[in-house]
Amino acid sequence: MFTAKPNKLARGNTRITMRQAVNMMDAVSFARSAGLPLVAHLTIHWAFTGVGDDPDGKLFAKVREGLDKWARRHGFPLACIWARERMSGGQAEVVHCHLLFHLPVEYRTGKGLLQVEAAIYRLINKHGRRDGDKAGYGYWADDVIKLVLHDNPDGKYLIKGGGPTVWNHFHVRREHRRLQGIIHGKRCGTTENIGPTARWTRTGGAPVRGANAPCRSSRSPPGAETAIKSLSRNRRTNEISDGELRGVKFASSLHARE
């Protein structure tokens, strides 16, 4: 199997920050309130493609772009959150990706769902090929993708690479609490239609209430101040960066403002 070799990759990052996690969880709640529940969970295993890996995330970006075009041709926008990881079954050599996205009811079962799967396979076949390979050599195993539909997913599986602060704040299931390897380039994100600007424009700055949103109150969440003080004392160690400490303070400030 051919494995792509990274070339001048951006500096690697080891975890999802608190600020990123808050953004993703608020996007899930906002999507539901906007009538675009994120019910479809797509996993892409680049190890099963012709290129063998997507070390900088450029191929995944092309897949998202292609899926957005397909969705719009079929009358609905692509609304999603996404994350890139390296840990999978104990292996950390190749990147795999998660995409939690909206599907209208008519595309969740039967013929409609088959159309969605076929569109995704076409995108992987197109962008998973090595330069010079013929059409049809984009992937060599059907397991290259896994598409699962959920009734009411909370999206927390996609922030499992956030580390102890994120795990505790969002009550991530214990069996999912494991860092997800070093990622080069952007690690996670949302589409613009459920991102911070869209949420602010629609709600006028009011918080999005929902089962998936972080707890909101007039005070910081329980333990937040203690966490900030503890992290401040230990930020000189390799356990947490200044950037993540700022993320914790940012998340806490959201509660104070709301």
Domain residues of the chain, as ranges? 12-213, 215-258
Specify whether the CB–CB gap between 183 and 17 falls below 8 A: no
Residue 178 has pLDDT above 50, yes or no: yes
Report d(CA 10, CA 6) in Å as an integer. Answer: 10
**Given the structure tokens 């089962």, which residue do they identify?**
211
Could you give the 3-state DSSP secondary structure of residue 97?
Answer: strand
* pTM to 2 decimal places: 0.78
Strands 145-149 and 80-85, by their bridges, are: unpaired
Q: How many CA atoms lie within 13 A of 194 on its CB side?
A: 30
* Residue 146 vs residue 257, higher pLDDT: 146
Per-residue pLDDT of 41-57, as tens digits, reads 999 999 999 999 999 99
Residue 100 has pLDDT above 50, yes or no: yes
